[in-house]
Amino acid sequence: MYSQSHNFNDNDKITSLKEIFTEAHLEGHIRNFFMSTSNQNSLKDYYTNATGGSIAIKTKEFKGFELGVKGIFTYQTFSSALNKPDATTGRISKWEHELYDINDFDNFNDLDRLEELYLKYNFGRGYLTYGKLEIEDTPLLNESDGRMKPFVFKGLWLNYELMDGHHFNLSWLDRVSPRSTVEWYDFNEAIGLTNNGFQPNGEVAQYHENTNSRGIGIFNYSGNVKDWTFHFYNVHLDRIINTSWLQIDYLFKNWNMGVQYALQFPLDYQMKLAYNERYIQDTENGQVLSTQLQYKFTKMKLSAAFTHAFDTGRFLSPRELGRDQLFTSISRSRMDGFGNVTVLTLGGSYDFKPDRCTMELKFTRLFGATVNEFENNKYNLDAYYQVNSRFH
């Protein structure tokens, strides 16, 4: 999930401008996604099938420079009436709309997006990229590509390898196109685009388009020393919140042990806003500790993970930017918005053939969440358990 160094072979470099395009690299994918929701008793069921794909072109490197562009599209092939309300609850489909455009529930076909358009400069032990780009996954910002469209960002990204096994990233991102959307937004427009939740005193939060955030800065250092791996991130969400994240992993034979710790502080600008327009309050200092133990057989992998969010404030991470990558995090289960809770996750996977197909099974259980205790429960969720299965 973390950044990797890039080495470039001089034999692959070109000598004329013409070869920039004649030797360009072309790639793409086709994706089909069927989703259905089966509700209890007489409540209305929903289903839909989305088909889409992407095409990307990357020029060959010329004097260190390369260009890249990528487009993606989605359309609905068949479906139930997703916007038809259930007669009992009055609600329409929830999950199925995430395959299309969550900001326009009537849009099922005009779903194209320019996902990448960047200029990249490669130098020595590093590279610098500017434009709409595919970022390297971080603990809080990532693609989270579990639908038809992932999270994508625009900005500046620097990667530099200090020495073998030690490198850092430095980036500034100022625009984002969240998963399940087609438009690009600045950070003030994006944060709170989906659900603002509640303030600690129980008021409905209204921070969308009130944060005045200009972007996000990320610093990352990663290093390897023998069987130890270290990752440190400082994520500065302008005018909103600062998060420091440390991860240490130890590999011993077939065992892999890891620990993560995150600490958050609100930025002063938030206190200039009206109470209900703040993303974070001055009394909130989210702290999370996560651990994992993993054992790998020849074809099987087993893991157990434990996470505790302390009662110093809710752990907050905008859902419009990705999903937190704690050891207990799985699809449709986040730590965002919780404080004073504990999460246990058990997992297993089996590889049937190398690089062919894998079966995964994960179980997660969240303890301690209390409805209407908004100081530790931003989205007013109850304690839950969840089982995810995947075959790919």
Three-state SS string over 28-70 comes to EEEEEEEEEECCCCCCCCEEEEEEEEEEEEECCCECCEEEEEE
What residues does 251 pair with on adjacent strands?
Answer: 256
From 148, 183, 218, the end of a domain falls on 183
Q: Do 58 and 100 meet the contact criterion of CB atoms below 8 Å apart?
A: no
Spans of the chain below 70 pLDDT: 1-16, 354-355
Residues 284 and 372 reside in one and the same domain: yes
Residue 117 to residue 130: CA distance in whole angstroms = 9
Residues 164 and 51 reside in one and the same domain: yes
Residues 252 and 114 reside in one and the same domain: no
Residues 262 and 177 reside in one and the same domain: no
Residues 254 and 160 reside in one and the same domain: no
Model pLDDT, residue 390: 78
Residues 165 and 273 reside in one and the same domain: no
Q: Do 338 and 377 meet the contact criterion of CB atoms below 8 Å apart?
A: yes
Residue 220 lies in a domain: no
Residue 159 lies in a domain: yes
Find where tokens 């999270």 sit. Answer: 151
Q: Where are the beta strands (DSSP E) in the chain?
A: 25-37, 46-58, 65-79, 113-123, 126-133, 152-163, 166-177, 185-186, 216-225, 228-237, 241-252, 255-266, 287-296, 300-309, 341-353, 357-367, 384-391
Residue 236 lies in a domain: no
CATH number of domain containing 128: 2.40.160.10
Residue 301 to residue 346: CA distance in whole angstroms = 11
From 183, 199, 233, the end of a domain falls on 183
pTM of this structure: 0.89
Residues 302 and 171 reside in one and the same domain: no
State which residues form the domain around 318: 245-392
Residue 204 to residue 350: CA distance in whole angstroms = 44
Report the amino acid identity of residue 221: Y
Residues 179 and 292 reside in one and the same domain: no
Q: Structurally, how many domains does the chain consist of?
A: 2
Identify the DSSP state of 191. T
Residue 205 lies in a domain: no
Residue 309 lies in a domain: yes
Residue 297: C-alpha distances to residues 41, 238, 303, 347 (Å): 43, 44, 11, 14
Residues 1 and 110 reside in one and the same domain: yes
Q: State both tokens at 337.
A: 């918005």
Q: Residues 6 or more apart from 291 whose CB is under 8 A from it?
A: 257, 258, 259, 260, 305, 306, 307, 327
Residues 173 and 251 reside in one and the same domain: no
From 131, 161, 183, the end of a domain falls on 183
Residues 173 and 263 reside in one and the same domain: no
Burial class (CB in 10 A: 0-12, 13-18, 19+), 345: buried
Q: State both tokens at 116.
A: 């990448």
Find where tokens 């020849």 sit. Answer: 298
Residue 200 lies in a domain: no
User: How much is the mean pLDDT over the chain?
Assistant: 92
Residue 89 lies in a domain: yes
Total Cβ atoms within 10 A of residue 40: 6
Residues 158 and 287 reside in one and the same domain: no
Residue 338 lies in a domain: yes
